[in-house]
Amino acid sequence: MSTNGLSGALHEMSYEEFAKHQIPRYHGPMVKIEIGVTVYHVSKIILCETSRYFARMFDGNFKEGEAQSAVLEKVEGVVSNRSFELLLQWLYLGRITVGEEPPSEQISAMIEFARFADMLGIDGVEPQTVEHMRATILANSPSPTMWA
């Protein structure tokens, strides 16, 4: 499980734990993140608990902290709408799902997400990204008998 503040998988929590510890995280202040023309509204609590980068940005003495808004410039292979949307899955669900993209795109998405998480100072994404890449490669490799 991620180190994004979840005390165990959401689906494993009792209703009391979920109501007491998780629901408050989805309310409260929101911050605005812009990437290109897309604007995302994200729980400040969840974002700042997980990311040292965003915690310093929004809780520090920066203009983003005053405005509770930030613009992220796209950086090829690191910062994109795709990597941010994977981050949102990670933050809110504790897991990532790429979808029905071709295998090479799935692996590229995982690498990009891992780089983005590293940039943001987010720990714990590596096992899930590596496992997804491994599973993608194995599912799309020719069978050993094919070469015999």
For the chain, counts of helices (H) and of strands (E): 7, 3
* Structural domain contains residue 1: no
Q: Provide the pLDDT for residue 4.
A: 46
Q: Provide the pLDDT for residue 2.
A: 41
With vertex at residue 58, the alpha carbon angle to CA 73 and CA 116, rounded to the nearest 5 degrees, is: 40
* Structural domain contains residue 53: yes
Q: How far is CA 31 from the centre of its chain?
A: 16
* Structural domain contains residue 114: yes
- Total domain count, the chain: 1
Q: Provide the pLDDT for residue 127.
A: 93
* Structural domain contains residue 52: yes
Q: Is 20 helix (H, G, I), strand (E, B) or coil?
A: helix
pTM of full prediction above 0.95: no
Q: Which residues of the chain have pLDDT under 50?
A: 1-7
Q: Is 68 helix (H, G, I), strand (E, B) or coil?
A: coil
Q: What H or E segment, with its residue span, contains residue 148?
A: none
Q: Which range of residues forms the domain containing residue 88? A: 10-142
Question: Which tokens hold the place of 54?
Answer: 């965003």
Q: Provide the pLDDT for residue 1.
A: 36
* Structural domain contains residue 89: yes
State how far the Cα of 147 lies from the Cα of 102, in Å rounded to an integer: 23
Q: Provide the pLDDT for residue 113.
A: 96
State how far the Cα of 111 lies from the Cα of 116, in Å rounded to an integer: 9
State how far the Cα of 108 lies from the Cα of 65, in Å rounded to an integer: 32
* Structural domain contains residue 4: no
* Structural domain contains residue 47: yes
What is the domain-level CATH number for residue 126? 3.30.710.10
* Structural domain contains residue 148: no
